[in-house]
Amino acid sequence: MSVAAESIQGRPVVAREFTSVGVVGLGTMGAGIVEVFARNGVDVVAVEISGAALERGRATLTGSTDRAVAKGKLAEADRDALLSRVDFQVGLDALHSVDLVIEAVPEHLDLKQRIFAELDRVCKPEAILATNTSSLSVTEISVATTRPNQVIGIHFFNPAPVMKLVEVVRTVVTSADVVADVEALCKRLGKVDVTISDRAGFIANALLFGYLNHAVGMFESHYASREDIDAAMKLGCGLPMGPLALMDLIGLDTAYEILDTMYRRGGRDRRHAPVPLIKQMVTAGLLGRKSGRGFYTYERPGSPVVVPDEHTPVATESALADGTRGIMTVGVVGSGTMATGIIEVFAKAGYEVVSVTRGAEKSAKVFEAVKTSLNKGVVRGKLSEADRDAALGRINWSATLEHLADVDLVVEAVVEELSVKKALFASLDEICKPGVVLATTTSSLPVIDVAMATQRPADVVGLHFFNPAPIMPLIEVVQTIRTSAETTATAKAVCAALGKTGVVCGDRSGFIVNALLFPYLNDAVKMLEASYSTADDIDYAMKLGCGYPMGPFELLDVVGLDVSLAIQRELYLELREPGFAPAPLLEHLVTAGYLGRKTGRGFRDHTRR
């Protein structure tokens, strides 16, 4: 982040005072920018191309401030003062005396260049000219003027009055004084700025839109439903919105323009080449919320309320109506953190559980871990003592697989080595009764390889729990090409009985969550590696600009760089997408033993915190 009190070539920076600003374009973003300035005591000249467009912009601003008053976030007197600071005008000539102009018109380079050429003619010589572009080249916009050193990118995020982040984008000729003035202005507006150079997508969009495009590709290929893709990323990663719902909010036409621009400007990375479905939907007028239909169907154009349509899944009246098997007793094989959590989840949900480990000592450790976790639930008031005792009473401890002969479901949670899992499933195939569901919790290995170690691949499914299993609400139900519909339905019913959300996907590396999450994390490492921005600024950009609960480097250090590298390698090996190749910096840090929080050092030094 910037420091406004820095010195430039030994001179202290004295930021200029912006007493009036102009905003060109009063759509959702432009009206929001007007509100940000007027809220902070700055006089604004709000400009549109016509009287009708001007009235629409006025209505947008009035509606936003009225909602703020209704929610108790803005006093009526403050709203009235805010609106009094805004001078609505038609035409750019009204901007002749402002100190700063921010352009917020549609993302078309030729349009922006024409506007900047006209602003260059109209505005006073010392005025700063800024663009709110999210993907176009600020440099290409600046050369339409005779003052490219006074042109800068000021990229607000939507909704501008709420989102804290502003990306300040300097070109190779932007004056250092201009950058410092804009950084100080952001601070005055109560925003957090990250200052970066002019590159396709800047920070947030460069990382966000590759992920969104990948999610659309997943949906287009029928890998998973729209609901399951969105639920997976919300529940598995804590994101505020799923990727397809977010595409609808952004607008598919806008998303297409951003992706297409990033593809052409950013080295023609295939992952930024818009998925064909996006162009088809735009052509068909399915633009998202603003048109009332995109990936989802909305109550009316502009409404956030999703209504059922022909693709909405129909809830089954009875769990047994769709051919699910009755599950009463569950076997869990393994003694690690994941196995311990899964045992607790099933026992609390009322299932009889047979825990199988490699010996009495391992069983004793698992018992203590489960008991400790349940006791914490009692202390926190989330579990009664009677429920705790009942849960513990449902667990049977064993060191032999033969005790799984009569269970209805086996969940394997052993080490992530294919040979170990295949050997275990071959043994389960011999021991377990016919009709038992055999599930693996693998997060990265092919489920079909495990299934084919048995003579009953139709009964094998992936149940990918997330850590910590008692807390995380998501389970990925992974069906292979041999998994029966009955087995998948049974697995889904079990997830529901556990109080979890089960999302169904195919047997492909990374499933839904890891396949979408880790390429995004890898892209962040490549951005750092290229010295485009700092780890802190990249983390700020994704948390404040996109609402992510953690920045990519915070998350990498928590997950473990070795784990992240292993998953990224699996994705690259299976999908053979050049953009998925692990970032060399990630490989070097793992080689050096910098694995994240668990070793005290990853992208950050945690020993000093």
- The answer for residues whose C-beta is within 8 angstroms of residue 157's C-beta and 6 or more apart is 163, 165, 166, 204, 544, 545, 546
- Spatial distance between the Cα atoms of 134 and 169, rounded to a whole number of angstroms: 10
pLDDT value, residue 5: 41
Burial of 425 (0-12, 13-18, 19+ CB in 10 A): buried
Task: Note the pLDDT of residue 8.
Answer: 44
**Backbone φ and ψ of 154, nearest 5°:** -125, 95
Phi, psi (degrees; rounded to nearest 5) at 394:
-85, -10
The yes-or-no answer to whether 20-198 and 513-599 have a common fold is: no
Percent of the chain exceeding pLDDT 70 equals: 96
Please name the residue ranges forming H helices in 380-484.
Answer: 385-393, 418-431, 447-451
Whether pLDDT at 123 is above 80: yes
DSSP characters over 65-81? HHHHHHTTSS-HHHHHH
Amino acid 578: pLDDT: 83
Q: Which of 441, 255, 222, 216 is nearest to 340 (CA)?
A: 441
The predicted pLDDT at position 318 comes to 44
Question: Contact 119/146 with Cβ under 8 angstroms?
Answer: no
Residue 267 pLDDT grade (very low, low, confident, very high; cuts 50, 70, 90) = confident
Give pLDDT, residue 316: 52
| Tokens 């849960």 belong to residue | 391
Contacts (Cβ under 8 Å, ≥6 apart) of 251: 287, 288, 289, 290
pLDDT digits 0-9 by tens, 269-298: 888 899 999 999 999 999 999 999 999 999
Please tell us whether the domain made up of 20-198 is placed in CATH 3.40.50.720. Answer: yes
Q: Is the pTM of this model over 0.85?
A: yes
Domain 513-599 annotated CATH 3.90.230.10: no
CATH of 329-507, one of 3.90.700.10, 1.10.10.60, 3.40.50.920, 3.40.50.720: 3.40.50.720
User: In this predicted structure, what is the pLDDT of residue 3?
Assistant: 40
Q: What is the CA radius of gyration of the chain?
A: 28
Contact 224, 504 (CB under 8 A): yes
CATH 2.60.120.380 fits 204-291, yes or no: no
**For 27, left (φ over 0), alpha (ψ -120 to 50), or beta?**
beta
599: confidence class by pLDDT, cuts 50, 70, 90: very high
Rounded Cα distance, 227 and 233, in Å:
10
Contact 209, 258 (CB under 8 A): yes
pLDDT digits (tens, 9 = 90+) for 311-326: 998 765 444 445 677 8
- The pLDDT value recorded for residue 135 is 84
**CA–CA separation, 509 vs 449, rounded Å?**
12
| Domain spans, the chain | 20-198, 204-291, 329-507, 513-599
pLDDT of residue 317: 42
Reported as a single tens digit per residue, the pLDDT across 506-516 is 999 889 999 99
Which runs of consecutive H residues, i.e. helices, occur in 395-446? 418-431
Range 595-600 average pLDDT: 91
pLDDT higher than 80, residue 11? no
Residue 13 banded pLDDT, cuts 50, 70, 90: low
Q: Helix or strand or coil: residue 289?
A: helix
pLDDT tens track for 366-389: 999 999 999 999 999 999 999 999
Is the CB of residue 327 less than 8 Å from the CB of residue 487?
no
Residues in the chain: 609
Lowest-pLDDT choice from 11-20, 90-99, 129-138, 339-348? 11-20
Strands 165-170 and 151-156: antiparallel
Q: In this predicted model, what pLDDT tens digit does every residue of 500-547 receive, in sequence order?
A: 999 999 999 889 999 999 999 999 999 999 999 999 999 999 999 998
pLDDT tens, position by position, 126-164: 999 999 998 899 999 999 999 999 999 999 998 899 999
pLDDT digits over 421-469, tens only? 999 999 999 999 999 999 999 988 899 999 999 999 999 999 999 989 9
How far is residue 514's CA from residue 195's CA, in Å, rounded to a whole number?
Answer: 30
Residues marked active site are found at 134, 155, 167, 205
* Structure confidence at residue 552 (pLDDT): 97
